[in-house]
Chain A
Amino acid sequence: MAGTLTGGEPAAASGPRPVPAAVRTALYAAGVVARRLLLLAVLLAAVFAAVELLPGDAATATSERGETAADLAARRRLLGLDRPVAERFWDWMTGLPTGDLGTSARGEPVAGLLAHPFPNTLLLGGLALLVTLVVSVALGCWAAARPGGGIDRTVSASATGILALPEFVVAVALVLVFALWTDWLPAVTLTDADGSPASWRMLVLPVLALAVPQIGWNTRIVRAALADEAKAPHIETAVLDGLPRHRILTHHLLPGALPTVAAGIATSTGMLLGGAVVVETIFNYPGIGSVLAGAVTDRDSPVIAGVVAVTGAVITGVLLLADLVRAWASGGRT
């Protein structure tokens, strides 16, 4: 009935005509999310299995030296380590949808252990990602403006140089110069009563330490994507038409390079979160890096899995966003 009344438009399910774009995007996104969630579950299972394979367990790691075998057995029972790993994993997974991340080997709720550190790491990683994006796009464009020119060569060479620097080298250098020698910025991050950094100035150095190597990497990607795009016929036409250089950049070059740039930035998310472990240690930044590292030492599966779950969720989200950006940007042309 509806079909005939609306001027011959067939119902979505019955006709050969494709579903509307919004629905298609939503379905696509749902499919991607489902696949990524499955991947995350597999990853979490791998975490439990890997901790199981490490020598020692949480009971010995959190015991005091000299506890007898009976004490250790009691501790193992207390922590539920006497049950098979699959059972413990299943218990942990079934708590996950309700936000229950289990209990640490020292009896603290994992959700509580992550409550303050995780938002702090997101803040650090988010700011670093933003700085990376802005600076590398700016540098990439600047270098691409005159291919082969002095600026291009300088930017490209320094980008290669700094991308080879590990975060801890950058971090230590930043502390030395800006905190210990000049006293311009705080050397470490201290928290106040609400568990977040006591001052924005404490964020500057850790964000830079994380962003600098990623800026190196992404500047090269932006520069290369712009160079590729510049070879496209429609750009040559625009140049021949005498359009101003900045207009070509903003209206023709950048949109074309966007999918590649988005993919590059998305890969940086994982690198940033990984680098955060190192950078947080050096700056005593109150994030999940410290939680994770300690948990591995303690063979504390629920805590490790908790960290993996929340970071995995964030990375999944960012990758999804990047996919959507690419789909949208290249939608008209593929």
Chain B
Amino acid sequence: MNLNRRQVLWAGGTTGAAMLLAACGGGGESSAKSPAKGNEKPRPGGTLRVGALGRASAITRDPHGTQANESDYLIISLVHDTLTVPGTKPNTLPRLAARWQASDDLKTWRFTLAKGAKFHDGTPVTAADVVWSLKRLRATPSGASRLPGIKAENIKAEGDDTVVLVSDYANAELPLLTRLTTFVLKKDTKDADLGKAPGTGPFKLDWFRSGNARLVRNEDWYGGEVHLDAIEVKIFESPQAMANALLAGQIDVASNVGAVAARTAEARDDIQIVRRPNDMAMPMVMRTADGPFADAKVREALRLAVDREAMVKQVLSGYGTVANDILGTGDPAYAKDIPQRARDLVKAKQLLKDAGFDTSKTYRLLTTEDIAGLAESATLFASQVREAGVKVEVVKQESATFWDKTWLKGDLYTTYWGTNDSVVFFASKTMVSDSGQNEAGWKDTAFDATYRKAMGTKDAAARTTVLQELQRIEFDRSGYLLWGMADGIDLAGAAVRDLPTLPGYGRVQLEQAWLAR
């Protein structure tokens, strides 16, 4: 069958199968809601039809499985609740856990469950259910990366409403890690019953069929009033088809549909374009451990050679913001004081000369078409750095080959993170010397020491100061060239109100949405 044609269509912009759920979502500087007109009072009722991306072959009903489908994840997160959820400021908000408290050494964390939280069948949620669910999550193959530093035996109940997590090391941001993945099921739910297992969330499952579902309001939700009568989730394989469905009025929201669709919709007055800033990072990775980019001067030269405004304008169709080589732009602790790095070809050439960089050679930049704009960013980058005398040849790899052969190993490649959790998230996952996904092979003792200091600092203000220092080091010499941040883009019909504008998986928080019709 004709796969090549299809792959071209698919390259329109969805997440790769290897996207890290644990790494999604995060804070943002903007307001948490879409532009509601004036001070409208939410109206109850109505059915919201939401399109979300997913493939029929990858459907999974397991809240603790690897959800490659945004549609599955959307359904799961409306039916089930996690302990905490993404917010703007702070970037971790209570959900099933009403509050949490750390010990002085920041290793022991106590989560107290929300009062009145009940499963859809009426049984109250107990600490035993939460402990069972967290242990189930911990026992999955991805468990260690989803609950980092927490062994299964260190998840315990204390009475009926408190869950205690003990980390192997001080971790000031543990509550942040419980967002997005810690879905709570009833204790002893069997694998075969996962599809119809009662959740605690704002919506109850009415039916599920081949990736599509209808959810109805949970009148008894402890988290506040839900306005919509029902949400219908429609699975879409291609963003293009999803955009067409919205333009033709067959759905009310096209979730995470991308910049190309937004450009098409710009001409239509009856379509709202919801921009969720700081959604996707698409940095270039320059290997620091060895190879041609090991000299920090060379890396700075490339960072000075890139034209960031042009990248945002051309690669993201303007739906994004310029970034400053520091990952975690949506974090309230993001260092806005560090001056924005701008294009300076003269300085770039000088740095290359100082470093003795061989400009006669052609360097390979490896990329994929996993997400929209990624390969385009590589091509534009190659033409920009040529003006600084660096010859770059872009090589597109098939996704599986790239993740198998290039990622974590290549000298120069593109990566992407559908997440913007926090400065600490990226530091701990991708930059500390012994981190498991050290994409650039970066080892910097000053950075490691500053990171450890930040993690052991309980006082939030003091920690923010240390994090500024951490970001300064990252700005100066890490292996990342982060030219910009892509907006997450949803399209919505004229009547839809109060959609979330959080980046990443914050987009699934539809419990406040309502319809003005």
* A292 and B141 form a contact (CB under 8 A): no
Q: Could you say which residues of chain A place their CB within 8 Å of the CB of B10?
A: 281, 293
* Interface status of B55 (Cβ within 8 A of chain A): yes
Mask, A291-331, CB within 8 Å of B = 1, is 11111111110010000000000000000000000000000
Look across to chain A and name the residue whose beta carbon is closest to the beta carbon of B405.
A55
Which residue on chain B has the smallest CB distance to residue A308? B1
Of A107, A278, A291, which contacts B56 at CB under 8 A? A291
Segment among B230-238, B358-366, B505-513 that sits at the interface with chain A: B230-238
Cβ-defined contact, A298 with B17, below 8 A = yes
- CB closest residue in chain B, given A296: B3
Contact of B245 with A63 in the complex, beta carbons under 8 Å? no
Answer yes or no: A52 CB below 8 A from chain B CBs.
Answer: no
The residues of A that contact B2 with a CB separation of less than 8 Å are 274-275, 277-278
A256: interface (CB < 8 Å): no
Q: Is A89 part of the contact surface with B, judged by Cβ < 8 Å?
A: no
| Interface assignment of B218: CB less than 8 Å from any CB of chain A | no
Q: How far is the CA of A325 from the CA of B5 in the complex (A)?
A: 34
Out of B23, B65, B214, B236, name the residue touching A284 (CB < 8 Å): B236
Q: How far is the CB of B276 from chain A (nearest CB, A)?
A: 21
Which A residues are CB-close (under 8 A) to B59?
Answer: 106, 108, 113
Q: Which residue of A lies closest to B57 (CB)?
A: A294
**B145 contact set on A, CB distance < 8 A:** 64, 66-68, 71
- B131-174 vs A, CB cutoff 8 Å, 1 = contact: the mask equals 00000000001101110000000000000000000000000000
B244 at the A interface (CB under 8 A)? yes
Which of A16-24, A130-138, A175-183, A227-235 lies at the binding interface? A175-183
Cα A65 to Cα B248 with chains together (Å): 36
- Say whether A217 faces chain B, with CB atoms less than 8 Å apart: no
Among candidates A56, A180, A190, A277, residue contacting B401 with C-beta atoms closer than 8 Å: A56
Residues of A within 8 Å of B237, CB to CB, are: 280-281, 284, 290, 293-294
- Alpha-carbon distance A252/B375, docked complex (angstroms): 60
Contacts of B49-85 to chain A: CB distance below 8 A: 55-62, 65-66, 68
Is residue B355 contacting chain A, with contact meaning CB distance below 8 A? Answer: no
- Convert A162-182 into 0s and 1s, putting 1 for each residue whose CB lies closer than 8 angstroms to a CB of B: 000010100000010001100
CB pair A282–B401 under 8 Å, yes or no, is no
Q: Are B238 and A284 in contact (CB under 8 A)?
A: yes
Q: Which residues of B contact A67 (CB under 8 A)?
A: 141-142, 144-145
With both chains docked as a complex, state the minimum distance between the C-beta of A180 and any C-beta of chain B, in angstroms. 6
Q: A188–B141 contact, CB under 8 A?
A: no
Residues of A within 8 A of B245 (CB): 187-188, 190, 284
- B429 contacts A66, CB within 8 Å? yes
Given that A183-B248, A187-B244, A194-B209 are contacting pairs, would A65 and B20 also be in contact in the complex, using a CB cutoff of 8 Å? yes
Given the known A-B contacts A67-B145, A168-B5, A190-B234, are A281 and B241 also in contact in the complex, defined by CB atoms under 8 Å?
yes
B450 at interface by CB-CB < 8 Å = no
Interface residue B98 (Cβ < 8 Å from any Cβ of A): no
Q: Does B317 contact A (CB under 8 A)?
A: no
For residue A193, CB closer than 8 A to chain B, the reply is yes
Q: Is the Cβ of B65 less than 8 Å from the Cβ of A179?
A: no
Cβ of B18 under 8 Å from chain A: yes
From B146, B209, B242, name the one whose CB has the most chain A CB atoms within 10 angstroms: B209
In the complex, which residues of chain B have a beta carbon less than 8 angstroms from the beta carbon of A294?
Answer: 55-58, 237
Give the chain B neighbours of A12 by CB distance below 8 A. Answer: none
Whether the Cβ atoms of A116 and B210 lie closer than 8 Å is: yes
Does chain B have a CB within 8 A of A220? no
B142 & A168 in contact (Cβ 8 Å cutoff): no
| C-alpha gap A62/B7 in the complex (Å) | 18
- Bitwise, B395-421 to A at CB < 8 A (1) or not (0) is 000111101110000000000000000
In the bound assembly, the distance between CA atoms of A191 and B209 in angstroms comes to 9
**Interface hits, A64-95 → B, CB 8 Å:** 64-68, 71-72, 74-75, 78
Contacts A107-B60, A190-B245, A284-B241 given; indicate if A297 touches B236 (C-beta within 8 A).
no
Assess the B400–A166 pair: CB atoms within 8 A. no
Task: Say if the beta carbon of B9 comes within 8 Å of chain A.
Answer: yes
A63 touches B18 (CB 8 A): yes
In the assembled complex, the Cα of A299 lies from the Cα of B2 at a distance in Å of 17
Do A179 and B248 touch across chains, with their CB atoms under 8 A apart? yes
Contact of A60 with B by CB under 8 A: yes
Give Cα distance in the complex from A66 to B404, angstroms: 12
Q: In the complex, which of the residues A63, A65, A104, A283 has the most CB atoms of chain B within 10 Å of its own CB atom?
A: A65
Given A62-B17, A274-B2, also A191-B60 (CB < 8 A): no
CB distance from A8 to the nearest CB of B (A): 57
- Cβ contact within 8 Å between B17 and A292: no
B contact residues around A108 at 8 Å (CB):
59-61
A273 contacts the other chain (CB 8 A): yes
User: How far is it, in angstroms, between the C-alpha of A254 and the C-alpha of B234 when the chains are bound?
Assistant: 47
Q: How far is the CA of A117 from the CA of B56 in the complex (A)?
A: 9
28 A-B pairs within 8 Å (CB atoms) are namely: A55-B398, A55-B404, A55-B405, A60-B404, A61-B18, A63-B141, A64-B20, A65-B23, A67-B141, A71-B144, A75-B141, A78-B141, A107-B60, A117-B56, A168-B9, A186-B250, A187-B248, A190-B245, A275-B2, A277-B3, A281-B238, A282-B238, A289-B1, A293-B10, A295-B57, A298-B58, A300-B57, A303-B57
Interface positions of A (Cβ within 8 A of B): 54-56, 60-68, 71-72, 74-75, 78, 104, 106-108, 113, 116-117, 166, 168, 175, 179-180, 183, 186-188, 190-191, 193-195, 273-275, 277-278, 280-284, 286, 288-300, 303
Q: A65-B437, A106-B68, A286-B56 given; name 16 further pairs at CB < 8 Å.
A: A60-B403, A61-B18, A65-B20, A75-B141, A107-B62, A188-B245, A188-B250, A191-B212, A193-B214, A195-B209, A281-B238, A286-B210, A290-B237, A293-B6, A293-B237, A294-B237
4 cross-chain pairs, A with B, having the tightest CB-CB distances, nearest first: A56-B400, A294-B55, A294-B57, A187-B248
